[in-house]
Structure 1
Amino acid sequence: MALGLVATQSFPAIVGTADMMLKSSAVTLVGYEKIGGGHCTAVVRGRIADVRLAVECGADTAEKFGQLIAKLVIARPLPNLDAVLPIGSRLAQLTAERGYSRMSNLAVGLLETRGFPAMVGASDAMLKAADVKLVGYETIGDGLCTTIIRGTVSNVAVAVEAGMHEAERIGELHAVMVIPRPLDDLEQTLPIANYFLEQPIQLPVALREKEQEPVRLPQLEQVSEPLVYVEELPLSQRVPNQAPRPLP
């Protein structure tokens, strides 16, 4: 087994690089490492020949984006190297099963800006321009923020174009990426898993009504004499100055 690493200076670029690495060779995407300053590294694992091919394809892709920083292939890494790297927990969760995602007919769109307001404005423009879902965002330092959307390929392309214009109007547009039909390995590394669980939103409803004092009715005074019920006579049967007669 071998370990392959490709580093870029943009999150959309590293996702696009990782997508190319997965589709060019039978490797497993372990995850990303973000060390600040906009530097991101994709880490893959597999047989030596597959990792070498994946790293070369990934480096070529990153170089076309103008974002390549470094590439590395480590043949037969010792177990201690995997253990001390932050990717160790991810390696323990990987399984041998590979395949396409259940949402493989959807595309992923990534738009990176320098500055949070530009990212929020671009996200709003993308949501209003096409039928897409905002599924999360990533920050990698140096003021770089990436918003991530999902939808059909055509909708994502339209949304990203609208987001680009809005980002340039507000601040600085740094990078964009549209990935059609991502593989399951790539999808699991993006911050979108919890969104598609469609859990209901739990609102804080622990609101207590203001406690009201019980209404105290005035107590009736005790009457020593018995009460007498009277009957009102119709006006036609009344005698002038005659009081109502008591009931039997």
Structure 2
Amino acid sequence: MPMAVGAIETLSFPTVLASADAMVKAAAVTLVYYGIAESGRLIVAIRGQVSEVQTAMTAGIAAGEQVPGGQVVTYYIVPNPPENVEAILPIHFTEESEPFRIF
């Protein structure tokens, strides 16, 4: 079954934390990546069914924008990334994320 990926990039840790928290609480998704993007921005990525990722992203963006001084810089959803993208980019399920995977 195709798994979508969604990513949100923010300017601060509290913003990325609020976004990640809201996403995993709003829909059946798994957090698969968190890291520092260029210019010290923070990024969080989730995986799940397309409709679940869309719901989670909406909640994550809204939560991030409500953080005092927080800013969601950009976000994007890829409905069904090809194997090549999954193999190269850090969006696959890892040993750390596998226990939380929702099928």
TM-score bracket, normalised by the shorter chain, equals: 0.7 to 0.9
Specify which structure has the bigger relative contact order, considering alpha-carbon pairs within 8 angstroms and separated by 6 or more residues: 2
Cα distance in 2 for partners of 1:112, 1:197 equals 19
- Seq. identity, %: 38
The one-letter amino acid of 1:141's match is: E
Once the two structures are superposed, the pairs formed by residues 71-86 of structure 1 within 5 Å of their partners are none
Is 2:38 aligned against 1:138? no
Q: Which residue of 2 aligns with 1:166?
A: 63
Do the aligned residues in 1 keep the contact of 2:23 with 2:60 (CA within 8 Å)?
yes
Rounded Cα–Cα distance in structure 1 between residues aligned with 2:82 and 2:96 = 16
Contact 2:30-2:97 at 8 Å conserved across structures: no
Structure-to-structure mapping, 1:210-225, within 5 angstroms: none
* Aligned residue-pair number: 96
Does the aligned pair in 1 maintain the 2:32–2:47 contact within 8 Å?
A: yes
What is the CA–CA distance in structure 2 between the aligned matches of 1:109 and 1:129, rounded to whole Å? Answer: 14
* Residue segments in structure 2 that go unaligned for 5+ positions in a row: none
User: Which of 127, 131, 138 in structure 1 is aligned with 2:24?
Assistant: 127
Q: Which runs of 5+ in 1 are unaligned?
A: 1-102, 200-248
Cα distance in 2 between the residues matched to 1:182 and 1:196:
21
- Distance of aligned partners of 1:195 and 1:149 in 2 relative to their CA distance in 1, 3 Å threshold: farther
User: Is 1:178 matched with 2:84?
Assistant: no
What secondary structure sits across from 1:154 in the alignment? helix
**Is the Cα–Cα contact under 8 Å of residues 11 and 73 in structure 2 kept in the other structure?**
yes
- Residues 96-245 of structure 1 correspond to what in structure 2 (within 5 A)? 105-170=2-67, 171-191=70-90, 192-195=92-95, 198=98
Q: Any runs of at least 4 consecutive aligned residues in structure 1 with deviations exceeding 6 A, and if so which? A: none
- Verify the 8 A CA contact 1:107 1:182 in the aligned structure 2: yes
Q: Secondary structure at the match of 2:34?
A: strand
Instruction: Give, in angstroms, the shift of residue 184 of structure 1.
Output: 0.5
Instruction: Tell me, yes or no, if the aligned pair for 2:19 and 2:61 is still in contact at 8 Å.
Output: yes
Q: TM-score, normalised by structure 2?
A: 0.84
From the CA coordinates, give the structure whose radius of gyration is larger: 1
Cα distance, 1:194 vs. partner? 2.1
1:186 maps to amino acid: V
Contact 1:116-1:143 at 8 Å conserved across structures? no
Higher helix share goes to which structure? 2
- C-alpha root-mean-square deviation of aligned residues, in Å? 1.9
- 1:217 corresponds in structure 2 to none
Equivalent-residue separation in structure 2 for 1:162 and 1:112 (angstroms): 14
Question: Offset of 1:196 from its aligned partner?
Answer: 8.0
TM-fit CA distance, 1:197: 8.2
Question: CA offsets per residue over residues 88-115 of structure 1, 9 Å max, x none?
Answer: xxxxxxxxxxxxxxx6x11000011111
Q: Is the 8 A contact 1:135 1:195 kept in 2?
A: no
Q: Where does 1:52-67 land on structure 2 (aligned, <5 Å)?
A: none
